[in-house]
Each structure stands twice: as C-alpha cells, then as structure tokens.
Structure 1
Amino acid sequence: MNVASITEMWHRLTGTQPDPSRWLVLATGLLALTAVLMRGVWHVTRNAVTIAHEGGHGLLALLSGRRLDGIRLHSDTSGLTVSRGKPHGLGMVLTAAAGYTAPPLLGLAGAGLLAAGHITALLWGATALLLVMLVMIRNAYGALTVVTACALFLLVSWLTKAQVQAAFAYLVVWFLLVGGARPVAELQNSRRRDRTNSSDADQLARLTHTPAALWMLFFYAVALCSLIGGGRWLLGR
C-alpha cells in the first residue's frame, strides 16, 4: 500500500459525508423499532445487542485493570464474559455495570458521529471493535456471530454507495438506541418470574450493598437518556 492510498483512506476516515434525507432517517428508525418489537425478528437481531453487551463487559474489564479470559456468545442470545482480578472494588463494579449500559451508550456515541457527518468513521470504527472482540471469543457460535457482523460492516463500507452506507449506519445506531431498553425489561421480568439472584443487577447489589432495584433503575435511565439524546441528534434537533 503506497502513501497515496494511505492518505486517501485517512481522508475517507476523517472526512464527513452529506446528511441523508429526512425520510431515510425516519424509515431506518421505524425499521429498527420493528426489529426490536417483533418477537421472531428480535430473537435474531438480539444477537447484535448481546455482542455490544458482552463487549462492554470485556472493555471495562480491561480498562479497569482486570485480566480478560474470554467471551462466549450463545445461540439463545445469551453471553458470558470471564475476567480475573479482585472480586470486589471499583473495577469489578464498572465491569458488571457495563453490560446493560453498553448498547445504548454505543448508540449514543454512534448518533454523535452521524450527527457530525462521520458515517465512514462509524462503519470502520465498528469493524475495528468487532475485530478486537473476535480475538477474545472462545466458542464457535460466538466466533461465527462476530465474523458475520464484521463481514457485513466491511461489505457495506467498501462495496456499496453512499446512500446505502448511510441507511445501514443509521439503522444500526437506531437499533442500539431503541433496543437498549428491551434487555433491561427482559431482565426485570426474569428476576420477577424466576427469583434469580445471579443477574448483573444482583451482582452489583452485592458489590455495592445497595438494592438491585436501584441498578435496574440505573439501566433504564441510561437507556432512556441515550434514546432521547441520540434520537435528537439523528433527527437534527
């Protein structure tokens, strides 16, 4: 790869792209809402939320100085991130809190990039994050899921026209924003139905000696605030 090619790629990454039409922004938002609300579709698309969820656990584990042993993604859209370090303290709290907050916060960050016209940066950044996560995947289904997602981002960013790239980028960001709250609602229903005490909220409750309901409220607040803020950015308000 010569200097001219590297320079061109850098300009594509840091440059801005034209804002899409308002109908495209609204249409992708409606499509994302459908993907979240329809049960049959959600069973498939929820894998994307699981990737973000477990990626959030993994990222905060590394940033807080813990040792990340691996990430597993399962066909029932559940996941598991294993890290080693002190079983208490701020690092453990941040790692446990990162899962349910990661999808909406990633959506908020993506909305900020799109509002600034950085569609290419969003697509390439997402691809890079998926490649980094792939290194830590420890099961075949998880590897297949991440490779598929990564390939999709690569194909869209390299082989499609600007309008298609914009539609895909807005759809992904809308989906993370809209879909950020449904896993929290599912967790609430699961805790009420099964009376389990092994969820992220229950783990955080034990780590901080606070009620699990407080952490459920925190998860909902992050999802709602991200949706409102990100939605305003995407709609140009």
Structure 2
Amino acid sequence: MRLDKFLSGQTACSRSELNRLIRNGAVTVNGIVIRKPDTAIKPETDAVALQGKPVLYQQFHWFLLHKPTGVLTAARDPKQKTVMDLLRQDDRLPKLAPVGRLDLDTSGLLLITDDGQTAHRLLSPKHHAPKYYLAKLRDPFQPEYVQKFRDGILLREGASEEACKPAECAQIHTRLAVLELREGKYHQVRRMFAAAGNEVESLLRVQIGMLQLPPDLPAGTYLHIFNKDVESALKNSDISQVCAFCDAYYSSYWINSGK
C-alpha cells in the first residue's frame, strides 16, 4: 500500500496535507524518515509515525457515542449540529457515517463507522440486531402494554394502519420501562406508547444486542471500540438482563431528575 493512501485512511488529514507533511520529513517508517508519498509499505507490519506519533493500522474504525438530545443523527447538515461534529478533529476520518439513527429528542448509544458491510448487517431485516430503550413515561406503566406490544401494536402510516413487529417491554419503576425493538420505524417507541394511551417524556437507547452504553460515558462523548465489541452488538440479549442493567445504573437518576 502507498504511504499516503495508508495515512489518509488512518488520519483526518487531507491527501494534499499528508503529501506536504511527508515531503517535509514529518513521517517515519520503521524509524526512517520517508519523503516520497508513493513509498510502498506493509500496513500490518511496518511501524509508521506521523510527527512522532505512531499511526496504528485499522482496516475499519468504530466509535461508540453517547448521543445527547438536540443533536442530529447525520453525517453532515448545513443548519444543525450533527453527531459527526462531536468527534475530535483527528477522528473525523473519511467515509465515517452513523449506523442507523436516533431521533433528535432521543439520547443514548449510537455507533459510527466506516465499515459499511458490518453496518449493513446491524441494520438489515435478516440480522436486525435487537435495540433496547429506557423510556420515562408521563403516566404509570400498565401491565397490558406487554401483550399489546407482543401482539404487534398498530401504528398509523398515512391513511392506513400498520402493525409493528412483536416487541418485548417490561416495567422497572412506576413510570420507567424497557422496550426491545427489532425494527426501526420513524419515532417508533414514542408512537407505540402513544398508541397504547401513554406518552414518552424521555428516551435513552441503552443497548444494541449485547453491547451496552457505558454508564460512566457522559452524553456528547465517545469511545473507540473494536471488532469484538461490534460482534457483541449482533448477539441476542434478554430483556430481563437489560432491565437489571438499567435499574442498577440509570433508574435512580431518571426517577429523581427532570428528564
């Protein structure tokens, strides 16, 4: 692989900026200064450094973001702040995009990657990874919601009604519930509870498959994650385990806050 191509895939620098840095002696390969951008390297074995900092080879990049409310899930937007604006400048790599979407007024776990194939696996109906949401309701949770959601509650779609796929839900406090979804309709969680006669006041995505939102990750910040973490997002969890996780780390805050 060419040195400039390698660096363009591992850094947020433009190709022209990288060429300038290489020619100015800012790049070493195995400790030797290289000044030719088209120098061939072996990414898996050669030690590359840019301005003295090692550049580690990753074929794909994954970030786990705690999306805050009020931030748009999009790669770019001319008017609104997007989730990509939350990334540090040196993490804004080419081809990065959010995996799916979270509504503007929903917070929680959002993945960002340049691995389109695995992102497609996470989103495709065939492999649709279960997603878990913690909802704070306006009114107390009613036991009949469980069967309504399992049966596939009807949502209005234009002039007709369409049944949701069967979904699991469980109560963890008077007005707190966890909902498992395996599809992604527009504003689905809020519309499902509205169809059941309630209203969602706040909504947090806490888990995808077995991949959890770290309780100590503040809204608006993110982590680099790796293949083993991403693979866990494709595995099935159990709603009782998610309820225990939410009850341990999120319930008291949501009960006592204005969220």
TM-score for the superposition, normalised by structure 1: 0.24
Q: Which has the higher strand share?
A: 2
Q: Which has the higher helix share?
A: 1
Q: Which has the higher contact order (CA 8 A, sep 6+)?
A: 1
